[in-house]
């Protein structure tokens, strides 16, 4: 399955920016695996003095963003699990700024953050590998918006791609 197969009713319009940043070259499962390695390789080539850099007052550092990607992926994967299991309970949103403020990412090594990112992605990939076609099409509610399981997978990838692009444009 590829992002072009998603229907606009499978996700809130504000997620379109992320979904549009996912390549049509690979399937969802392939891109979940490939994209994280692409990001890790990219981050490993960033000069060490950039990891604590903020391009403006109040903006996150690269380490903060990596932690944000980890936390957001865990939340999106949890939502996917709930929706795939046909749980009809509406799920709340999360306050990303509060998560970053509490995570202390800047006190961690870059290798530690990248290792966690890889472990989280492996868990996400393992989870998505278990979903049937029927489960991938299931819709749940989070943050007062409907979303399919498969759309959540593409959002995980697109969210990561979005932040890598921000690294390139504003941090390096």
- Which tens digit of pLDDT belongs to each residue from 121-135? 999 999 999 999 999
Q: Can you give the pLDDT at residue 48?
A: 95
Helix, coil or strand: residue 109: coil
What pTM value is reported for the model? 0.96
pLDDT at 90: 97
Alpha-carbon gap, residue 53 to 60, rounded angstroms: 8
Could you tell me the CATH number of the domain that includes residue 134? 1.20.120.450
- Helices 149-166 + 28-44 axis angle, to 10: 20
Domain that holds residue 70: 3-171
Kindly state the helix (H) or strand (E) to which residue 147 belongs, with its residue range.
strand 145-148
Report pLDDT digits (tens) over 10-42: 999 999 999 999 999 999 999 999 999 999 999
Q: Collapsing DSSP states into helix, strand and coil, what is residue 145?
A: strand
* Nearest residue to 50 via CA among 63, 37, 39, 59: 63
Query: Could you give the CA distance from residue 24 to residue 139 in angstroms, rounded to a whole number?
Result: 22
- 111 vs 132: CA distance, rounded Å: 34
Query: What's the number of CA atoms in the CB half-sphere (13 Å) around residue 112?
Result: 9
Q: Is 126 exposed, middle or buried (0-12, 13-18, 19+ CB in 10 A)?
A: exposed
Give me the number of domains the chain comprises. 1
Question: What is the structure's pLDDT at 57?
Answer: 95
């Amino acid at each position: 399955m590829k992002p072009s197969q998603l229907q606009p009713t499978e996700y809130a319009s504000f997620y379109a920016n992320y979904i549009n940043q996912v390549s049509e070259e690979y399937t969802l499962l392939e891109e979940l695996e490939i994209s994280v390695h692409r990001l890790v390789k990219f981050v490993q080539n960033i000069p060490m003095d950039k990891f604590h850099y903020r391009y403006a007052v109040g903006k996150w550092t690269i380490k903060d963003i990596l932690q944000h990607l980890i936390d957001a992926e865990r939340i999106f994967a949890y939502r996917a699990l709930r929706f795939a299991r046909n749980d009809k309970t509406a799920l709340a949103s999360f306050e990303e700024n509060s998560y970053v403020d509490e995570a202390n990412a800047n006190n961690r090594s870059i290798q530690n953050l990248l290792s966690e990112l890889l472990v989280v992605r492996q868990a996400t990939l393992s989870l998505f590998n278990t979903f049937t076609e029927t489960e991938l099409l299931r819709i749940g509610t989070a943050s007062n918006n409907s979303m399919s399981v498969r759309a959540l997978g593409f959002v995980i990838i697109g969210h990561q791609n979005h932040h890598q692009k921000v690294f390139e444009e504003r941090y390096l």
